[in-house]
Amino acid sequence: MKSLQLRLGLWLGISLVLVLSIATLVMSAFPRYLTEEYVMTRIEHDADALRQRLEVEKDARLRFTEGLIGPIYTLRNSGHYFQVLTEKDLIKSPSLGEFRLPIEMLPPGTVKMHYRQGPVQQKLLARVAGIHIEGVDITLLVAEDISHLASDISTMRLFYLIAMLITLLLLLGAQVWIIRHSLVPLEQARHQLRGVATGEVEKITTEVPREVKPLVDEVNRLTGDMRRTISRSRKALGNLAHALKGPLTVISQVLEDPDTKLNSDARETLCSQSEMIRQTIDYELRRARLSGAASPGEQFNIVPELEDLVAMMKKIYADKHLDFKLSIPSPRKYPLDRSDMLELLGNLVDNACKWASHQVHVKVETGDSFCFSIEDDGPGMPESEHDLLAQRGKRLDETRPGHGLGLSIVQDIVTDYSGELAFSRSALGGLKVRVWGI
């Protein structure tokens, strides 16, 4: 179970159900206990009254003095009954009529509580006690109808159960609301973290609970460290480029100076190796500058960047009077490093302009990732040579300017962003380069 909200809701819900179930069981038994205690008090009072009026005659038979204790025991099926049992005699209340309650002799001092079935199938609560009067062991049973009380208790239990169910539903609803409300800061932090990934914000600024704050602080620290590391690396690479290119320029000038005493073979070898070092430095510096991902808080806005790039290419290749066609479905910002994307698009558009006769088409495709294609109407090239295009330093036409590094840099950028690069024949007649999955 990966959802914190679901986990909290489930365990709290189980706890609520368990607590309310226990409370329901306790409260369901409590009214019955109170009712039976109340009835038992009345039965004991009647039993004491009956005992006081019992007399033992000379033949060991029983009789009541001063008659019965009240009319309720004389009215048939009244719900109040008694029986007096000895080894020789059995006295029943007139309310029992011909009905006899099950009764057995008990030793004196013994008291038992029983449920019995009355003359008209009613539920009785009976008290059976063993007593000793004037040398005779007597068992006295006094019973009272509790059917109407049981019905009232059942009704009370039903209402209580309904009340508990309503309470449970209200508490579960309140619990869901409380959990969601409590997790709102985490949801806001998640959205801001997504914003950091997409370059919309530089760090998480949402106020979060103190239990989560160390995690948020650590994420902010890591994004800050990443941003500073990228900045330092690019600055160091720039310094390295200036430091190395200066001596290389001097070496090249010395080698090109006719007064330098070198034979032609040595001069040619040194010039070739010097140029190779320059190309290697250019390639590695441009490759190392690739971020591989958007810096926190950075986005690539395709429309203005591509328009500026095309405007610059029109100036560079003004003599060719190229017709640029841009196809961008909708303005959009991508969570990609701006310098990497400018390097990628710049190399591809520049390559298309270099070979195009009149037209260059740039099309950005719709989708979650950054996908585009660039076509020209140049001479194109055989499909067998497409795989050679992205090789470092490989120039298929030595008459064109450059060092053959552009498309290899493109390949490195696409690889760093886990994208795909493909070359094919353009419908315009030249080369089509398609990049997707960035």
Q: How far is CA 313 from the centre of its chain?
A: 49
**Residue corresponding to tokens 């449920």:** 115
Distance between CA atoms of 113 and 119, rounded to whole angstroms? 19
Q: pLDDT grade, residue 314 (50/70/90)? A: very high
**Residue corresponding to tokens 């530089």:** 202
12 and 116 in a common domain: yes
281 and 307 in a common domain: no
| Domain final position from 288, 309, 343 | 288
326 and 254 in a common domain: no
Residue 168 falls inside a structural domain: no
State which residues form the domain around 257.
Answer: 213-288
Question: Would you give the DSSP letter of residue 295?
Answer: P
What CATH code is carried by the domain that includes residue 330? 3.30.565.10
Does position 271 have pLDDT exceeding 80, yes or no?
no
Phi, psi of 114 (to 5 degrees): -140, 155
The answer to whether the beta carbons of residues 50 and 58 sit under 8 Å apart is no
337 and 265 in a common domain: no
331: burial class by Cβ within 10 Å (0-12, 13-18, 19+)? exposed
Residue 222 falls inside a structural domain: yes
What is the rounded average pLDDT of the residues 24-51? Answer: 85
308 and 416 in a common domain: yes
Distance between CA atoms of 375 and 383, rounded to whole angstroms? 15
Most confident of 47-51, 223-227, 234-238, 374-378: 374-378
Distance between CA atoms of 164 and 226, rounded to whole angstroms? 56
Residue 163 falls inside a structural domain: no
Residue 164 falls inside a structural domain: no
Domain count, the chain: 3
Write out the two tokens for 403: 């060092």
379 and 342 in a common domain: yes
| Domain final position from 261, 288, 315 | 288
Count Cα atoms within 13 angstroms, Cβ side, for 368.
1
Q: β-pairing, 323-327 with 359-365?
A: parallel
319 and 265 in a common domain: no
271 and 222 in a common domain: yes
118 and 98 in a common domain: yes
120 and 13 in a common domain: yes
330 and 270 in a common domain: no
Residue 173 falls inside a structural domain: no
| Domain final position from 235, 262, 288 | 288
CA-based nearest residue to 416, from 309, 303, 288? 288
Q: What angle do CA 431, 436, 438 make, to 5 degrees?
A: 135
Question: Would you give the DSSP letter of residue 381?
Answer: -
Residue 165 falls inside a structural domain: no
0.75 exceeded by pTM: no
275 and 144 in a common domain: no
H or E element at residue 309? helix 302-316
Distance between CA atoms of 99 and 283, rounded to whole angstroms? 114
pLDDT tens digit sequence for 315-348: 999 999 999 999 988 778 888 888 889 889 999 9
Give the pLDDT score at 398. 42
| Least confident window among 52-56, 125-129, 233-237, 352-356 | 233-237
What is the rounded average pLDDT of the residues 393-403? Answer: 45
Q: pLDDT grade, residue 403 (50/70/90)? A: very low
Residue 128 falls inside a structural domain: yes
Residue 161 falls inside a structural domain: no
Give the pLDDT score at 264. 73
